[in-house]
């Protein structure tokens, strides 16, 4: 048999052999990619040399010379472009985290609302999804910034909440905690409370598997997380105070300020992304067989219990994969903040710093690496969560 096969291979010409042709095509494709890459890089370096553009990362230590509207770390004009990169990165992470949290909450509520038996709730949820999903995200950012927030009253006519929180066209002003040395004990108490909740969850799960009895884990966990740090706070002599914003002259000083650019971007990203998450939630819930819901209802379980114990655990396996994509899109869409001047990474580093130093290759590559890294981290975390939600075969 082998002799016959070898004889047939000898009869076929080298270039007519399918196996040989497959290898030749792959080699030619790789060669084409290498030649194209070499041409691009060679052309780029020749142009850099002709224009006398400096290369390298020495610019990161040079003085930036410009201010930034919002910074989570201490920053002024005398700091370096490396510090600008850090400030932009932190601002990008800040708005991404805020957007992911609120988009998840809104998306979950609206997704469940679309399947509600209440006519008004169902139709309002549908109108929300169809309205905000079909308007470009950039227009929504501009709408919140130029129409909604710009129409708020001036600082002297601010909207006040308990004389502690103020909202006007300059932003949202909230009290800022001033921590003292003894506050470390409160932080340690909070960490111990988190560890206790993790242990409690394992105990409650084991108890449920063995006896079938439920334990009010959510409310007990909330109680532990609030009570333990609060008790330690008062026992240690209240080692923290609040600094309230106060109107001085034409604007407020003190406290924490959430600038309008951040609010507009967070509103737009949360509301836009929530529409897609809501559809993923709806699809996940509808993917659960009706027979399981009917069986749970036949046992006399309440609708809320059926949703929490029967539907959502199974629906999450369908919901999580598309939600990962929406989280990644939200992080990447945060770069649209440059349209309203929010000082995230693209605005301050790939914008202002690039215009000053002119080293586009290094700056663009660093910015791309940041978004790639953030996306990979989100994917790893969500895929880990997805693997934990899979039904274990016994």
Q: What CATH number did the domain enclosing 107 receive?
A: 1.10.3720.10
> What's the pLDDT at 92?
94
In a domain, 99, yes or no: yes
In a domain, 180, yes or no: no
In a domain, 394, yes or no: no
In a domain, 362, yes or no: yes
pLDDT band at 93 (very low <50, low <70, confident <90, very high): very high
What is the domain extent for residue 338?
Answer: 81-144+259-282+318-389
Rounded Cα distance, 278 and 122, in Å: 12
In a domain, 335, yes or no: yes
pLDDT band at 11 (very low <50, low <70, confident <90, very high): low
Q: 70-84, pLDDT tens digit by residue?
A: 888 898 888 999 999
In a domain, 331, yes or no: yes
In a domain, 363, yes or no: yes
Q: 227-281, pLDDT tens digit by residue?
A: 988 998 888 888 888 888 888 877 888 888 888 999 999 999 999 999 999 999 9
In a domain, 254, yes or no: no
98, 267 contact by CB (below 8 A): no
- What is the number of structural domains in the chain? 1
> What's the pLDDT at 2?
53
| pTM of the predicted structure, to 2 decimals | 0.79
List, in sequence order, every residue forming a beta bridge with 176; answer none if it has no partner: 243
pLDDT band at 374 (very low <50, low <70, confident <90, very high): very high
Rounded Cα distance, 338 and 82, in Å: 19
CB atoms inside a 10 Å sphere around CB 14:
9
């Amino acid at each position: 048999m082998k002799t016959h096969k070898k004889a047939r291979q000898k009869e076929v010409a080298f270039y007519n052999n399918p196996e040989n042709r497959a290898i030749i095509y792959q080699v030619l494709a790789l060669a084409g990619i290498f030649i194209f890459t070499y041409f691009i890089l060679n052309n780029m370096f020749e142009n850099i040399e002709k224009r006398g553009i400096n290369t390298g990362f020495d610019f990161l230590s040079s003085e930036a010379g410009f201010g930034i509207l919002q910074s989570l770390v201490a920053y002024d004009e005398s700091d370096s472009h490396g510090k600008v990169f850090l400030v932009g990165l932190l601002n990008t992470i800040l708005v991404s985290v805020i957007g992911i949290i609120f988009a998840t909450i809104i998306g979950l509520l609206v997704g469940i609302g679309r399947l509600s038996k209440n006519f008004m709730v169902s139709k309002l949820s549908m109108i929300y999804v169809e309205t905000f999903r079909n308007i470009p995200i950039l227009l929504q950012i501009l709408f919140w910034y130029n129409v909604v927030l710009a129409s708020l009253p001036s600082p002297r006519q601010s909207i006040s909440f308990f004389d502690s929180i103020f909202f006007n066209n300059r932003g949202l002003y909230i009290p800022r905690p001033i921590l003292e040395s003894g506050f470390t004990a409160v932080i340690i108490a909070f960490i111990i409370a988190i560890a206790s909740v993790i242990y409690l969850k394992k105990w409650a799960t084991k108890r449920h598997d063995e006896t079938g009895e439920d334990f009010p884990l959510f409310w007990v966990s909330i109680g532990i997380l609030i009570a333990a740090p609060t008790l330690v706070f008062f026992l240690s002599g209240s080692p923290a105070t609040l600094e309230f914003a106060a109107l001085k002259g034409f604007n407020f000083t003190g406290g924490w300020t959430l600038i309008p650019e951040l609010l507009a971007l967070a509103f737009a990203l949360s509301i836009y992304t929530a529409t897609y998450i809501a559809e993923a939630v709806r699809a996940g819930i509808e993917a659960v067989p009706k027979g399981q819901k009917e069986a749970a209802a036949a046992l006399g379980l309440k609708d809320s219990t059926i949703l929490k114990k029967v539907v959502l655990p199974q629906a999450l396996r369908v919901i999580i994969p598309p939600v990962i994509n929406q989280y990644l899109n939200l992080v990447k869409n945060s770069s649209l903040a440059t349209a309203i001047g929010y000082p995230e990474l693209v605005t301050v580093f790939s914008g202002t710093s690039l215009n000053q130093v002119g080293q586009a290759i290094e700056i663009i590559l660093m910015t791309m690496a940041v978004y790639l890294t953030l996306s990979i981290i989100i994917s790893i975390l969500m895929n880990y969560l997805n693997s934990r939600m899979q039904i274990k075969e016994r």
